[in-house]
Structure 1
Amino acid sequence: MSTPNPPKGIMEPTEQLAIIIPTLTGIVGRIQPAQLDNETPCAAFTVQGVLDHMISGARAFAPAFRGEELGPAMPVQADPEKHPVTEFRQAMVELLDAVNAPGALERTVSAPFGDVPGSVFARFVAFDGLIHGWDLATATNQPFDPPDEVVAAVAAFARKALTPEMRDGDTFAAESETSGGAGRLEKLVAFSGRSL
C-alpha cells in the first residue's frame, strides 16, 4: 500500500496517542458493568466487544513497534470480577511505551494491511483509537470531545491513507452523510463509515 506523508507541521503520532490514550482510559473508567452489553455504532461489537478488540489489538501491535513479529490478536477473556479499565490501561500503557521506544517509528512494521513504516502504523492506531473512543462514548452516553488539533491531524492522515479496498464493511464501511452543522469529529466518524 502507499504510505502517505503527513503535511508539514502536523502532530506526530506519538503526540496524538499521548492525548488519545488517556482520554480513552477515562471513558473506559466511567463505563458501568450494566453497559458492557450495550450495542455500539461499531456494528460487529458490543461495548465489551470493543474493549476486547482494543485490548487484544494493543497487545498484538506493541511487539511490532518493538521490532518483533506481529502476533495474532489473541481473544481477551473478560474477568467479571474486574473492571475492564484495569486490563485496558495496562494494554494501552504497553502500547504507548512501545510506540515511544527508540526507532519504533522508523522501523518497518508488518501491519494487518501490509508492511508500512512505524510512523504510518502509529497514525492508523490513533485513527482507530479515536473512532473506537467515539463508539464507546456514544454507547455509554458519555461526552467525547478530543482536542480539535488531534482530530484535524487524524483526519488529514485518514483521508489520504484509507483506501477503497479497506472499506470492506467490517473494518471500515462506505462514508456516511453528515448534516451541515457537523463538527470535525462527526465528519471524521462519518468518513470512517459510522452512521451518525
Structure 2
Amino acid sequence: MNLAELHRRSCERFGEHLRAVRHDQWTAPTPCADWDVRGLVNHVTGEDLWTGPLMAGATIGEVGDRFDGDVLGSDPVAAYTDAAESAVDAVSADGALGRTVHLSFGDVPGEEYAWQLFADHLIHGWDLARAIGADDRLDPDLVAACAQWFAKNEDGYREAGAVGARPEVPADADQQTLLLAGFGRRP
C-alpha cells in the first residue's frame, strides 16, 4: 500500500468516527487532555486545511492565520469532509511526495509530511473513537505501516514534546497497543 493510500484510509476512518458523534458528545473529553471532541476535530480539520497550501509550496507565513480558531463552523462533519478531501487530493497529487514542505520547524520532504499527516489521522481517529465510545480497533495494515515509520521518529517526537511519555505496556501487548503507547496513549 502506498503512502497516499495510507493517508486516504486514515482520513476516511477518522471521518467515519466523526459521523458517529452524537450532539451531546461534542464536549466529551478525549485521550488528548487539552481537547474535547470538538477541539480534537477542529485540530484535525485545521491540519487538513493547511495540507493543500503546504504541499503546494506555501510557507507558514504565506498561509498566515487564515486557519486559526474555529474552522468547523455550524457543520463540523461537512467542514471536516471538505478539508479531508482537499488534503487527500494534495497528498496524492503527482509529485507531491517529492516536493519540499515548509513546516514551522523547518523544511521537510513532502513524503515525511504525508507520514505525519497519516499518523495524526490514525492516532486521533483512535482518540475520537475512545471519546465517543466507538470501536477503537485500528486497521492492522495502517498500524503496521505507522509503527514502522514511527519507530524511526518516536525519540524526536518525544524530545520535541509532540507526544507524551510512553506508558508501561504488558510484555505481550499487540502492535496497536505498542503504537498507541509510543504516541503516549494509555489504551
TM-score of the alignment, normalized to the shorter chain, above 0.5: yes
**Alignment match, 2:178:** 187
Q: Describe the superposition over 1:47-84 as per-residue Cα deviations: whole angstroms up to 9, x where unpaired.
A: 0000011111111122111222243542225434x3x2
Relative to structure 1, the CA distance from residue 164 to residue 119 in structure 2 (aligned partners, 3 Å threshold; closer, same or farther) is closer
Equivalent runs, 1:84-103 vs 2, <5 Å: 84-103=76-95
Instruction: Report the Cα offset of residue 181 of structure 1.
Output: 4.3
Contact 2:40 2:128 in 1 (8 A): yes
Q: Which residue among 92, 95, 112 is the counterpart of 1:120?
A: 112
Q: Write the mapping of 1:121-136 to structure 2, written as runs, cut at 5 A.
A: 121-136=113-128
Cα distance in 1 for partners of 2:157, 2:18 equals 31
Verify: 1:53 aligned to 2:43, yes or no: yes
> Relative to 1, partners in 2 of residues 1:149 and 1:165: Cα closer, same or farther, differing over 3 Å?
closer
Aligned residues: 183
158-167 vs 136-145, which deviates more? 158-167
Q: What is the TM-score of this pair, normalised by structure 1?
A: 0.86
| One of 155, 170, 176 as aligned partner of 2:147 | 155
Q: Is the 8 A contact 2:73 2:79 kept in 1?
A: no
Question: Could you tell me how far apart the structure 2 residues matched to 1:168 and 1:174 are?
Answer: 12
Identity %, equivalent residues: 30
2:19 is aligned, of 29, 33, 54, to 29
What amino acid sits opposite 1:79 in the alignment?
Answer: G
Unaligned runs of 5+ in 1: 1-10
Give distance in 1, aligned partners of 2:157 and 2:116: 15
In the alignment, which residue of structure 2 is the partner of 1:178?
169
Runs (4+) of structure 1 exceeding 6 A deviation are none
Given that 1:41 and 1:135 are in contact with CA atoms closer than 8 Å, whether structure 2 keeps it comes out as yes
Deviates more, 1:156-165 or 1:45-54: 156-165
* Residue from 61, 70, 75 that aligns with 1:76: 70
Match of residue 66, structure 1, among 52, 56, 70: 56
* Counterpart AA for 1:30: A
Distance in 2 between the 1:185 and 1:78 partners? 29
Tell me which amino acid in the other structure corresponds to 1:45: W
Q: CA deviation at 1:35?
A: 0.4
Deviation track 1:112-161 (CA, whole Å, cap 9, x = no partner) reads 33211101110011111111001000000000333212111111101102
Match for 2:90: what amino acid?
A
Q: Secondary structure, in 3 states, of the residue corresponding to 2:115?
A: helix
TM-align CA RMSD? 1.7
Tell me if the contact between 2:157 and 2:163 (Cα under 8 Å) persists in the aligned partners: no
Asked if 1 retains the 8 angstrom alpha-carbon contact of 2:57 and 2:102, the reply is: no
Amino acid at match of 2:68: M
Question: How far did residue 182 of structure 1 move?
Answer: 2.8
Structure with the higher helix share, 1 or 2 = 2
The answer to whether the aligner puts 1:141 opposite 2:133 as a matched pair is: yes
